[in-house]
Amino acid sequence: MKPDEKGWLKEYLEFRQDLLKELTTESKKASHPEQSLYRVIQPTGLMYGQAVGSLEHPDSSQWNEKDRMKILLAESLISSSLLFYDKQIKNPAELSDVILKTLGSIGNFYNNIFPELATPTKTLFGRKKTPLELAEKILDKRVELTSELGDNFWVQFFHNSLLFLDIFIFGQWIHTNADKIVSDFFKYEREELRFSVVKVIAAAAHANKAVEFEERRLLDYFLVSAGLSNEKKKEAHAIFEKGIAIEEINLPTNNSWILKKYFLEMAILTIWADKRVEGSEQEFLQRMCVYLGFSNDDLENSMMAIEGFVLEHWEQLNALQNKQDYNQVSESFIKRMSAITSSNKNRLVKEVQDSKELMILLEKAKSKELTEEEKKKMQDLLMVVLKTIPTFVIISLPQRFLTLPMLLKILPSNFFSEVQ
């Protein structure tokens, strides 16, 4: 499969049909659909302007950054539609029908809300394009607008993270009748949400009363891709120079959990740009959580989600590669995870005791060295146990980082003596 050639979307959907079917099951929809969508999108890096998520396709090693971004965007848009679909899908034919309607919605959405991507619905010879053909062409165009400015994490984060807003607005769009009034509303929302991100960046950059060089560059990266009017760009620069109080941002959150999560994580990563989080910046994030209606636990979860994402993809995120930085992020992440496992100790003990396979391996480990295969099995089983903790249902755990020795370090002290 070659994502830069015609027909890539059809091939990819056929390859991913089992995953897409899984998104319609009751277990995937057990939590709020927005939390399920976050769980699907956050590990891919799309919220952070990256395309590092596992695509599990045999040809994926040959794809470039834009190929990966295009496929992740297509998958995220379709996932959003399926997770918010309120009827039970009973068979493959119904699933195909829902996906076909979603592809039609993707074409209508971009043609109406992104006039710069407008694509004819007919061929030169007057044949009406299928929803699949139209969606494929428009997704090609949308990703062409994203950045491929080297391997710098921060450039790509602030240049490409607006793709998340496509997914959010599309999730609202598919539940409306797309007349002109509705289209005008969503065009306005698109610009307002993008401008809200500028305000979040400005507020976070001023959190420690000094705008760092890295933070100043971030605004420039962002404005290149935001598509704001000249008037809005001038206003953005003025806000960035002067700063803005959290209360003045007036985030148009519409009580959306995932949108508020996105704004919070944009603020966290802006503060991370100079690789230091000072006391005043931590206080700013806590005040922002209060403003958004989030708790301190929500802030901890977002910090842990970002740290886990960075640790999992450290080799791919070149701009962050520094041993001291890695150790700092690693220690912070371990500390946060340890606090959660300690507060859920009784739950974890019971889960381990209920796993016969894990208990056998633990018993064997007391008297002899486990084989590499057994160690890997124990690691996998412990990850399953950890994912019974509600926090770890919402955020993705970095599996490459959480080796068996690391898992043993994160679990509460004397944990295994209580299991026996």
Domain total of the chain: 2
Same domain, 90 and 46: yes
Between CA 320 and CA 314 the distance in angstroms is 7
Establish if 327 belongs to a structural domain: no
Establish if 109 belongs to a structural domain: yes
* Integer Rg of the chain from CA: 23
Establish if 331 belongs to a structural domain: no
Same domain, 246 and 118: yes
Same domain, 275 and 347: no
Domain boundary among 271, 294, 321: 321
Establish if 70 belongs to a structural domain: yes
Contact 170, 44 (CB under 8 A): no
The pLDDT profile of the chain, 420 residues, written as one tens digit per residue, is 787 788 888 888 888 777 667 766 644 444 678 888 888 888 877 887 777 666 677 777 788 778 888 888 888 898 888 887 777 777 778 888 888 888 888 988 998 888 888 888 888 788 888 888 898 999 988 888 775 545 566 666 666 778 888 898 888 888 776 667 778 888 888 888 888 888 888 888 888 776 666 666 666 766 666 667 788 888 888 888 888 888 888 776 567 899 999 999 988 888 876 656 678 888 999 999 998 889 988 999 998 888 888 787 776 665 555 555 777 778 888 888 899 999 888 898 888 888 888 888 888 887 788 888 888 898 989 888 898 888 888 888 888 888 888 888 888 877 777 766
Between CA 13 and CA 130 the distance in angstroms is 15
* Enclosing domain of residue 394: 336-419
Domain boundary among 272, 293, 321: 321
Same domain, 30 and 110: yes
Establish if 53 belongs to a structural domain: yes
Same domain, 141 and 65: yes
Establish if 262 belongs to a structural domain: yes
Same domain, 275 and 346: no
Continuous H helices in 128-256: 131-144, 153-160, 163-173, 180-205, 213-226, 230-242, 246-249
In tens, the pLDDT along 9-40 reads 888 888 877 766 776 664 444 467 888 888 88
Establish if 394 belongs to a structural domain: yes
Quote the pLDDT of residue 27: 46
Q: Per-residue DSSP letters for 240-282? A: HHH---HHHH----TT-HHHHHHHHHHHHHHHHTTT---HHHH
Establish if 276 belongs to a structural domain: yes
Three-state SS for 174?
A: coil
Model pTM above 0.75 = yes
Between CA 51 and CA 164 the distance in angstroms is 12
Same domain, 291 and 384: no
Same domain, 262 and 389: no
In tens, the pLDDT along 61-82 reads 788 778 888 888 888 898 888 8
Three-state SS for 128?
A: strand
Domain boundary among 321, 356, 373: 321
Same domain, 144 and 72: yes
Same domain, 317 and 340: no
Same domain, 128 and 43: yes
Quote the pLDDT of residue 318: 56
Same domain, 218 and 194: yes
What are the angstrom distances between the C-alpha of 330 and each of 118, 309, 336, 398?
A: 45, 11, 10, 11
